[in-house]
Structures are given as C-alpha cells and as structure tokens.
Amino acid sequence: MRLYDTEVHFQYTRLTIEAFDNLLRIVGPKIEKISTHYRNPIPARSRLYLTLWFLATGDTMSSLAFAFRIGHSTASMIISETCESLWDVLQNELFEPSEHGWKEVAKDFQDIWNFPHCIGALDGKHVNLKSPPHSGSVFYNYKGSHSISLMAIASARYKFLIVDIGGEGRHSDGGIFKNSVMGYRFQHNQMYIPVPTPIIEGGKAMPYMLVADEAFQLNSYTLRPYPGKTLTNEQRVFNYRLSRPKVGLIIDKKDDAIKQLQEKSGAKMIIIQEEPSQEQEKPL
C-alpha cells in the first residue's frame, strides 16, 4: 500500500510522505514479520499506514478492517503492536526536562516572542468522548459534554513539550494540572528548572516561569494575568505582554490545527466505545 497524493497522505496519516518514510525506516524493523511458506505477512508499510490512519481519524475498527481488507481482530492487533513499537523507538524524541533543555526553550521564547525566562505555555483542552458506562457525571464538563483533559506545556515553536492526558472533564484546568504527574514534579522541584538569573546586566535575579491563564494558580514557577477589570496601566500592559507568548497563541494554535484536520477528515470527536468482536480473517 502506498498513498502518493500528498494531501490525502497527510489527511490520513498527519505526516508528509518524507516524514512517513523516515518513521517507517525507524520503526519498520520492529514491526516487519517474517515471510514463510505458509503465509505472506502484512508488510510493515501497511501496518504503519493502518496505525496512523486510526490515530489520525479515529475511524472504527470495522471501517479500518474493511478499508485494508483484513479481519477486525487482525486490525486491532496490528494497531496495538505498532503503537507499542512506536513508543519504544521514539523514546529519544521526547523532551527530557533538564536545566539545559529549559534554557533552550527559554531562548526560543526570548527570540520569537521577546519574552525572557519563559519555559513553556501551559493550558488544557477538552477531548470529547462518549460517556463510559456507569461513570455518572465524572467526565461531564462545564461545556455540557463528556470529556477527558489534554494538559500540555508547549514551546515557542508550537511543539508539545510535556503532556498529561486523561484528567476527568468535570475538573478545572488548574486542578487537573495540580494533581497530574508533571504538576507534582513542578511542585516538588523535580523539573530541573534553572536557577533565577538577571534578565539584564546588573539587574535583579528573575525566575524561569511557565505562562498560563487565570485558571492556574500563581506560584514560583507559573505566571498568570492580573484578574479583574479594574487594572492599572502597568497591569494591563503586563497582561498584554503575558498574552503574546501565552497559551492563546500557542496551545490554541495547535488546537486550531487539530480542528482543521478534523474538518478535513470528517472526524468530529474522539469516541471511546467498544465494538462487537468479529472473527479474524487471516493470520498476522
């Protein structure tokens, strides 16, 4: 299988053809199966296409099995195995919190947004889902739908640095962050944030900070806007400057891109549900 139309390829994999080929080169050896006299296994390229198609569109297992002409259980097993292999081979691509790493992030915020000592834009987004059985109002959010939370810290270049997925939709962004693993590590000084340094020569040492909105608590590692409408000129200027590299222009831009991709693919929301099992048509 090979998709040659670049727009269609990106629509169903969220990768350019070149990026797909590079990913296949990395993960291919782990997902390629040995051919025998008794069977011709599904090629690594098709396995990766199937998995990315599922992750990109959220199509049901039944529709994927039909599109790839394989059994329902075969498709499910391929996706599970390929996701596990992707997790294994891409470990080194993840951002690892370190003093040097945070300083590189801060340099980008300084160069791109003219905002010094910023180590990330923090915000949460709701991902809609069908309410799990017997969950009651656990996932019911203030927007009137059921969801889980995607909590993320993004760089100045619109890249996710750290994410936490799975917070119950009924909770606020601030509460989800506080109770997340990354929130715990920030609270207990386990994120290797650089020590405060002067922003200008001879100036006072200033801390490195995340920038966030009013939903998050002001503390030693998070900046948020001044609340209320009765603000001084200095406070209004501060809020404006904070909003430039803030989540509204970084996390929300990624969210807009996700929404555009959803509109192109026809996927309106992520639906978590079980499908009736079907017999496997062919072996892996």
For residue 3, the model assigns a pLDDT of 60
Residues 79 and 168 in one domain: no
157 near 253, Cβ under 8 Å?
no
Residues 32 and 72 in one domain: yes
Among 61, 91, 121, residue at a domain's last position: 91
Residues 32 and 16 in one domain: yes
Listed range (98-102, 171-175, 240-244, 254-258) with the worst mean pLDDT:
254-258
Residues 174 and 222 in one domain: yes
For residue 278, the model assigns a pLDDT of 40
Q: Which two tokens stand for residue 42?
A: 């599904």
Which DSSP state fits 1?
-
Number of folded domains that form the chain: 2
The position carrying tokens 């290797």 is: 192
The position carrying tokens 């000084």 is: 189
The residues, any chain, with a CB within 8 Å of residue 104's CB and separated by 6 or more, are none
- The predicted model gives 32-52 an average pLDDT of 89
For residue 254, the model assigns a pLDDT of 52
Residues 168 and 113 in one domain: yes
Which residue segment(s) compose the domain that 14 sits in? 6-91
Residues 25 and 108 in one domain: no
For residue 134, the model assigns a pLDDT of 81
Which DSSP state fits 266?
T
- The predicted model gives 181-203 an average pLDDT of 95
HEC letters along 9-75: HHHHHCCCHHHHHHHHHHHHHHHCCCCCCCCCCCCHHHHHHHHHHHHHHCCCHHHHHHHHCCCHHHH
For residue 274, the model assigns a pLDDT of 35
Residues 111 and 193 in one domain: yes
Residues 258 and 147 in one domain: yes
For residue 273, being part of any structural domain is answered with no
Comparison of pLDDT for 253 and 234, the residue scoring more? 234
146 has which bridge partners? 140
DSSP output for 185-227: HHHTT-S-PPPPEESSTT--EE--EEE--TTS--BTTEE-PPP
- The predicted model gives 195-204 an average pLDDT of 93
The 3-state DSSP class for residue 140 equals: strand
For residue 246, the model assigns a pLDDT of 56
pLDDT-based confidence at residue 142 (cuts at 50, 70, 90)? confident
Residues 126 and 227 in one domain: yes
pLDDT-based confidence at residue 283 (cuts at 50, 70, 90)? very low
Residues 46 and 156 in one domain: no
For residue 32, the model assigns a pLDDT of 93
For residue 284, being part of any structural domain is answered with no
For residue 274, being part of any structural domain is answered with no
Give Cα separations from 182 to 96, 148, 187, 197 (angstroms): 12, 17, 9, 24
- pLDDT tens-digit map of 67-95: 999 999 999 999 999 999 999 999 888 89
Q: Decide if pLDDT at 135 tops 90.
A: no
- pLDDT tens-digit map of 154-186: 999 888 899 998 888 889 899 999 999 999 999
State the average pLDDT for the chain.
84
- The predicted model gives 217-239 an average pLDDT of 92
pLDDT-based confidence at residue 277 (cuts at 50, 70, 90)? very low
Comparison of pLDDT for 258 and 81, the residue scoring more? 81
Residues 222 and 135 in one domain: yes
- pLDDT tens-digit map of 1-33: 566 678 888 888 989 999 999 999 999 999 998
Q: Cα(146)–Cα(6) distance, rounded to whole angstroms?
A: 35
